[in-house]
Amino acid sequence: NAGVTQTPKFRVLKTGQSMTLLCAQDMNHEYMYWYRQDPGMGLRLIHYSVGEGTTAKGEVPDGYNVSRLKKQNFLLGLESAAPSQTSVYFCASNHRDRGLTDTQYFGPGTRLTVL
């Protein structure tokens, strides 16, 4: 199993550009998450999904949109990138057995720079 994979690994955007980050998992997990990691801030939850076709806001959702059209994929979109969105983005997933309390499996991260 590949586990949780993220595409792309690195990206540089100009202010105002849009892009989509793709997260894919092959573990048949129901729950998926998008976090951002900033120096000295830890991980902060952007959006999450408890199943195909459902999404919910996390702690820092502004400026981001998500979609979960297929169980194995969770997309994070930036419609108009801003320098404040420069960060490392992590995707994670877990099985539904213990829901939001279950062990999460993380992807390798996407390093995004917005100029």
Partner 1 sequence: AQSVSQHNHHVILSEAASLELGCNYSYGGTVNLFWYVQYPGQHLQLLLKYFSGDPLVKGIKGFEAEFIKSKFSFNLRKPSVQWSDTAEYFCAVNAYYSGNTPLVFGKGTRLSVIA
Residues that bind partner 1 (CB under 8 A): 4, 33, 35, 40-45, 48, 58-59, 90, 92, 99-101, 103-109
Give the DSSP letter string of 11-39. Answer: EEE-TT--EEEEEEESS--SEEEEEEEET
Which lies closer to partner 1 via its Cβ, residue 13 or residue 32? 32
Task: Determine whether 5 is exposed, middle or buried from the number of CB atoms within 10 Å of its CB (0-12, 13-18, 19+).
Answer: middle
Which lies closer to partner 1 via its Cβ, residue 1 or residue 101? 101
Which lies closer to partner 1 via its Cβ, residue 100 or residue 115? 100
- Nearest-approach distance from CB 107 to partner 1, in angstroms: 7
- Nearest-approach distance from CB 79 to partner 1, in angstroms: 23
Evaluate whether 43 touches 108 at the Cβ level (below 8 Å): no
Which lies closer to partner 1 via its Cβ, residue 41 or residue 82? 41
- Nearest-approach distance from CB 15 to partner 1, in angstroms: 27
- Nearest-approach distance from CB 14 to partner 1, in angstroms: 28
> Which segments of the chain are extended strands (E)?
4-7, 10-13, 19-25, 31-38, 42-51, 54-57, 65-67, 73-78, 87-94, 105-106, 110-114
